[in-house]
Amino acid sequence: MPGAIRVDGRLVNRDSKEIQWIRTRVSMVFQRFNLFRRIAPVLENVIEGPVYVKKEDRKKAVERAEELLQQVGWGTR
C-alpha cells in the first residue's frame, strides 16, 4: 500500500484496532530536546512513558532510567 506506515507489520492509522499496541512501542525524539516543564527532575521525565503508558513497575522504571542516565553522563547517583 503506497504511503502506508507499518510497525512490526501492523498498519498504523487512527482507526487501527491496534493503535494502543503501536503507541506503547513507538516514540519520537524531537530535534530540539526539552524536558517537560511540569515534570521537574530529569528522572521523572525519563520514567513518564514506561510508568504511565506501558504500566511498568515504578521501581523497575527508575532503575532502568538511572542506568540510561548514567550512560549519557546524567547519573543521579
pLDDT digits (tens, 9 = 90+) for 46-55: 898 889 888 9
- What is the pLDDT at residue 32? 60
Residues 40 and 75 in one domain: yes
pTM above 0.75? no
- Please state the domain count of the chain: 2
Cell reading at 76: 543521579
Q: How many CA atoms lie within 13 A of 21 on its CB side?
A: 12
Same-domain pairing of 75 and 51: yes
Regarding whether 77 and 48 lie in a shared domain, the answer is yes
Instruction: Tell me whether residue 40 is exposed, middle or buried, using C-beta atoms within 10 angstroms of its C-beta: 0 to 12, 13 to 18, 19 or more.
Output: exposed
What's the full length of the chain, in residues?
77
39 shares a domain with 3? no
